[in-house]
Amino acid sequence: MEINITSIETIKPSSPTSEEHKTYKLCLFDVFQLNTYFPLILFYHKTNEMQEFSNVSTQLKNSLSKALTIFYPLCGRRSDIFSIDCNDEGAIYMEASINMEMEEFLSPPKLELINKLLPCEPNKTQPYNEILPQILVQVNIFKCGGIAIGLCNLHTILDAYSCSLFLKTWSSICKGSNDEICEPNFSIASSAFPPRNTIGVRAGVMNINKGLEIEVKCSTRRFLFDNKSINDLKVASTKNNGINTKLPTSYKVVTSFISKHMIVACMKEFCDESKRPLVVLHVVDMRRRMGDSLLQNSIGNLIWPALMVCENVNKDTNISDMVKILEDEIGKVNEELLLKLKNDPRFLWSDECAKLMLEGMENENPISFVFTSWGNMGFKEIDFGWGKPLWIAQRGGTKETIPNTVVLMETYEGIEAWVTMADKHLDDLGNDTEFLKFALLNPNINFNCVVI
């Protein structure tokens, strides 16, 4: 595949940011984020509604400029650890042509090439003093006329939920549906969870992710759990729990199944280090657990980790046991906990917080696994005027990055798991026959799915 970058420009907001909004205050959880870009690629096949690309290009850029006026912090640059200078420097916008049909590229998806559709290297940790654009866009036009919009979003301001709000606004403006524009709230996160001096904060809060900063050579593979597989896993997870047992959610059963098999794959290498604890971290969206409608359109990294210790996991471990541990730990990230975070400035110093963050375990060199879900956030609904996306992608390739991470993406057929591991561990997972009974390895994208 050849890709030709045809243009690079900076898109500035259609109206200058007012003086009262020149400084955007980060919230407590923004300050904790790594200085890295998380990726997203939206694929749209050629439709009758799609105009000539020159017109599409103009429409995308004009609507992006208007969307950036609403999402004005995305045009700024970080000025210090606690704030963004909303100086209207703008977003980076690129266009590229690809000498390949989209159907060929997606049959099956060329994961080794997919990062070429992104405007920069994703998930590479940058120094905190590196001043970076908040958002970069690359619009890729395939030989058939299909379009893939690749975004790299700096984690300083945006989490996946915030990114979906931005995309809904951009796409609504692009297709002329002004009544669907999402009005973001830029003040509630920092007022509810203001940044604090972290000197003296319990070690568990600051150091539990210490091992995650180690970047090794990893690859990413995509596994599809179709709706039948998900239902089968739900039934299997409750087989011994009685007739009236409530089935677990799709997220809980899929992540429990994946984490078991990832642990088994990793422990083949670390069998002589069986005393190393296994920690599975689930990123929890606080908006859904706060019971506060004001947070629903809030911008910022309103996420909190649910940490679970997995002991004696092997190929015979019952998935129901994994689900039970997960339900217990995620259940602790509730409205009561988050209100303590909001109302008690001393909570980060407390014994309760230290226990939740597994204080002291960082000294035992844990093997860590991280799960996050981008499901039910509306990415499948992002319509720029040519219909909903055919497919939503994450990242691929082989590179230096944080290992043992999983991103779940919603699809029309079920749930996709984008699994990033060290190559040897990923090979073991990909050869796990029990795992592959439920997980389809990188199947073709269905071009016949309904995109309305």
- 104, two tokens: 């060929």
CB 329 within 8 A of CB 283: no
- 81, two tokens: 């650890």
d(CA 308, CA 356): 9
d(CA 334, CA 11): 40
Mode of pairing for the β-strands spanning 367-373 and 405-410: parallel
- 105, two tokens: 């590229």
- 410, two tokens: 């919603």
Backbone angles phi, psi at 311, to 5 degrees: -110, 145
pLDDT at 363: 79
- 38, two tokens: 């998380």
Residue showing tokens 């990188």: 442
Tell which residue, 264, 258, 280, 260, has the closest CA to residue 330: 280
- 59, two tokens: 């429409």
pLDDT at 203: 53
CA 394-395-399 angle, 5° bins = 160
Q: Give the chain's length.
A: 452
Helix (H) or strand (E) holding 337: helix 335-343
Tell which residue, 138, 192, 132, 182, has the closest CA to residue 162: 182
pLDDT at 294: 65
pLDDT tens per residue across all 452 residues of the chain: 899 999 999 999 999 999 999 999 999 999 888 889 999 999 999 877 777 888 999 999 999 999 999 999 999 999 888 999 999 999 999 999 999 999 999 999 999 999 999 999 988 888 877 889 999 999 999 999 999 999 999 999 999 999 999 999 999 999 999 888 988 999 999 998 998 765 555 555 544 444 444 678 899 999 999 999 999 999 988 876 655 578 899 999 999 999 999 999 998 876 655 678 899 999 999 988 876 666 788 999 999 999 999 988 999 999 999 999 999 999 999 889 988 988 888 888 888 988 888 888 877 888 999 999 999 999 999 999 999 999 999 999 888 888 999 999 989 899 999 999 999 999 999 999 999 999 999 999 988 765 54
pTM (whole model) above 0.85: yes
Tell me the three state secondary structure of residue 333: coil
Biggest CA-to-CA distance, the chain? 62
Contacts of 350 (CB under 8 A, 6+ apart): 202, 344
- 278, two tokens: 């296994």
pLDDT at 332: 92
Q: Give residue 37's identity as a one-letter amino acid code.
A: Y
Tell me the three state secondary structure of residue 31: helix
Tell which residue, 173, 94, 95, 76, has the closest CA to residue 136: 94
pLDDT at 205: 55
Q: What share of the chain is helix, strand, coil (3-state, %, to 5)?
A: 35, 25, 40
What structural domains does the chain harbor? 3-192 (3.30.559.10), 203-375+385-441 (3.30.559.10)
d(CA 6, CA 20): 37
Helix 250-267 with 423-430: angle, nearest 10 deg = 120
